[in-house]
């Protein structure tokens, strides 16, 4: 499937949620579908989107947090799976788009192209619920299930190594950061009322 189609299909589920994405194609595609102040695009620090999502999930237990990760990023921080599994925040949903490629930096194949199994690693790390969803509909179903429950979930979705023509987003990094912080703090205040 195309990641773009997958994102389009799950966008209604993302719209009101705290979302942290990795850099490059994922960020640009989500942004193009419609930017929201509750979306944060981590445009560098490869691997740390899942750690950021974990940090938010641990301090905002009343809100669902969705991380949009990728194979290249997750392979850089596999330890994050073991840390997520250790603390098991039930409000964290970790989606990994696996295009078997470092698409945003030139399309070099990652180890998932030669057999590394990220869903298997997530399971063996102790992530309680791991699903594989390789169509937009099955991804939407898996995400809906994860959001309706309270179990730490990793969903691995194989996607084609195709991205947008341009990664340009009309949103300076710091504007995104300040918007996102204000948005999270407003959510925190509301949940305390």
Partner 1 sequence: MPVSVTNSKLIYDALKACDVKIMSALPETWLVHLIRMAEEDPAMKLVRLAKEEEGVGISAGAYLAGVNSAMLMQNHGFLASINGIVSLALLYRIPLLLLISYRGHWGEKDPWQTQGGLATEPLLRTLSIPIWHLNTPTDIYRRLKDAQTLAHASLHPVAILLSRELMWEE
Q: Which is nearer to partner 1, 168 or 189 (CB)?
A: 189
Determine which residue in the list 10, 25, 28, 49 makes contact with partner 1, applying CB under 8 A.
49
Q: Which stretch binds partner 1 (CB under 8 A): 79-87, 96-104, 129-137, 144-152?
A: 79-87
Contacts with 12 (C-beta within 8 Å, 6 or more apart), sequence order: none
Nearest to 36 by CA among 193, 188, 189, 184: 184
Nearest-angstrom CA–CA distance, 40 and 179? 9
Asked if 193 touches partner 1 (CB under 8 A), the answer is no
Write down the least CB distance from residue 67 to partner 1, Å.
10
Write down the least CB distance from residue 162 to partner 1, Å.
25
Percentage helix, strand, coil for the chain under 3-state DSSP, each rounded to 5:
50, 20, 35
Residue with the two structure tokens 């309706």: 148
List residues binding partner 1 (CB under 8 A).
20, 40, 42-60, 77, 79-80, 82-83, 86-87, 173-174, 177, 180-181, 184-185, 188
């Amino acid at each position: 499937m195309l990641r773009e189609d997958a994102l389009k299909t799950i966008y209604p589920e993302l719209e009101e949620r705290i979302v942290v994405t990795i850099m490059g194609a994922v960020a640009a595609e989500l942004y193009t579908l419609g930017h929201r102040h509750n979306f944060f695009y981590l445009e560098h620090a490869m691997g740390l989107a899942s750690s950021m999502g974990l940090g938010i999930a641990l301090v905002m237990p009343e809100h669902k947090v969705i991380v949009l990760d990728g194979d290249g990023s997750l392979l850089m921080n596999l330890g994050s799976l073991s840390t997520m599994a250790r603390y098991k925040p039930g409000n964290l949903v970790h989606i990994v788009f696996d295009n078997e490629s470092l698409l945003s930096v030139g399309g070099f194949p990652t180890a998932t192209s030669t057999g590394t199994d990220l869903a298997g690693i997530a399971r063996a790390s102790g992530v309680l619920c791991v699903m594989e969803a390789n169509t937009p509909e099955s991804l939407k179903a898996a995400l809906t299930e994860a959001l309706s429950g309270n179990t730490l979930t990793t969903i691995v979705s194989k996607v084609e190594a195709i991205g947008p023509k341009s990664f340009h987003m009309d949103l300076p990094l710091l504007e995104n950061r300040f918007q996102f912080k204000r948005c999270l703090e407003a959510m925190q205040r509301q949940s305390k009322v």
